[in-house]
Amino acid sequence: MNILSNNTKEEKTLKSISCFMKEYSVGRHLKKANAYKNKGIPVMSIFIYLIQLVFTKKSMYIVSTGFKNL
């Protein structure tokens, strides 16, 4: 698989995750479940990041070190 098609597939996945979060008001449900913060990185950003890792089949270590997932 070439790099271009892999990036396109990831972009589609990220777009569908974003649409899902908006359509089902995930942020509102997280706040209702007392998952919110006053300072620092917003909980919604962390939640989206973790969901993206799952659906793009990457690990947090690989992303943080900058290695490409083969």
Q: Which two structure tokens, joined as six digits, stand for 4?
A: 């271009």
What string of pLDDT tens digits covers the 70 residues of the chain? 555 556 788 888 889 998 999 999 999 999 999 888 888 998 989 999 999 888 888 888 877 887 665 5
Q: Count of domains in the chain?
A: 1
Residue 33 resides in a domain: yes
Q: Is 5 helix (H, G, I), strand (E, B) or coil?
A: helix
Type of residue numbered 4: L
Q: State if pTM tops 0.95.
A: no
Domain of 27, in residue numbers:
19-64
Residue 50 resides in a domain: yes
Query: How is residue 39 annotated by DSSP?
Result: S
Residue 11 resides in a domain: no
Residue 48 resides in a domain: yes
Residue 3 resides in a domain: no
